[in-house]
Amino acid sequence: MRGMTIYNLYIFHPQGHCIGYYEWHRPKRASINPAEEFQLVHGLLTSVRSFNEKLSPLGPRQCSVSTMKNRLHYFETATSLKFVMNTDLAAFGIEELLPKIYEQVYVPYVTGNPLAIKGELIQSEVFKQKLSDIVQSHASFA
C-alpha cells in the first residue's frame, strides 16, 4: 500500500496574491514560473468558490477538488484568507488540519507578529518551523 502524502500549501491574501508557499513532497516540478502557478491556483479557487456559491448560497468555507491522482483542499477564513493544500487521494483529516494551521500557526506567528507586514510575503522563520512541525506531525504526512 502506498503511503499518504501532503505535497504543498499555498496561502493567499484576500486580494488574491500568494503570501506563502511551502513544499514537502513534490514529485513533479511545474513547467511554469511560481508567479504563474500561483495565479492558476488562485483562479481555480475562484472558479470552485463561484460554482459552490451557485449550488448553495451558504457555500462552505472549506471544500476539496479531486483528480484521479491528487486532491486540492481549500479553507477560507472569515477575513477571506485562503489556505490551499495539495495531497494524494489517501490523505485524510485535512479539513481539520487547515483551520488548525490558521488558528495555531498563522494567527500567533503572522497576525500576532508586530514585524509582519499585512498582505506581504510571510518571512517569519518561526512561522515556517511551526508550520512544518504541525504538517509533519499529521497522520497523513509520509
How far is Cα 11 from Cα 83, in angstroms, rounded to an integer? Answer: 5
How far is Cα 32 from Cα 23, in angstroms, rounded to an integer? Answer: 16
- Residue 1 confidence class, pLDDT cut points 50, 70, 90: very low
User: What is the share, in percent, of the chain residues with pLDDT greater than 90?
Assistant: 68
User: What is the share, in percent, of the chain residues with pLDDT greater than 70?
Assistant: 94
How far is Cα 136 from Cα 133, in angstroms, rounded to an integer? Answer: 5
Q: Evaluate if residue 66 carries a pLDDT over 90.
A: no
Provide the pairing of β-strand 18-23 with 62-66. Answer: unpaired
Phi, psi of 4 (to 5 degrees): -85, 150
Q: Looking at the domain assignment, is residue 142 inside a domain?
A: no
List, for residues 21-43, the tens digit of each pLDDT value.
999 987 777 778 889 999 999 99
Q: The domain spanning residue 109 has which CATH number?
A: 3.30.450.70
Our measurement of the distance from residue 2's CA atom to the centroid of its chain's CA atoms, rounded to an integer in Å, reads 23
Q: Looking at the domain assignment, is residue 1 inside a domain?
A: no
Our measurement of the distance from residue 128's CA atom to the centroid of its chain's CA atoms, rounded to an integer in Å, reads 13
115-141: average pLDDT: 94
Buried b (16+ CB within 10 A) or exposed e, 78-103: eeebbbbbbbbeebeebeebbeebbe
Q: Evaluate if residue 2 carries a pLDDT over 60.
A: no
Q: Looking at the domain assignment, is residue 141 inside a domain?
A: no
Total count of domains within the chain: 1
Length of the chain: 142
List, for residues 69-104, the tens digit of each pLDDT value.
999 999 999 999 999 999 999 999 999 999 999 999
Q: Looking at the domain assignment, is residue 24 inside a domain?
A: yes
CB-based burial of residue 62 (10 Å sphere; 0-12 exposed, 13-18 middle, 19+ buried)? middle
Q: Looking at the domain assignment, is residue 117 inside a domain?
A: yes
Pairwise pLDDT comparison (59 vs 56), residue with the higher score:
56
Q: Looking at the domain assignment, is residue 61 inside a domain?
A: yes
Range of the domain at 101: 6-136
Q: Looking at the domain assignment, is residue 40 inside a domain?
A: yes
Query: Which alpha helices (H) appear in 19-74, and where do they start and end?
Result: 34-55
How far is Cα 103 from Cα 122, in angstroms, rounded to an integer? Answer: 16
Q: What's the confidence (pLDDT) of residue 104? A: 98
Q: Looking at the domain assignment, is residue 51 inside a domain?
A: yes
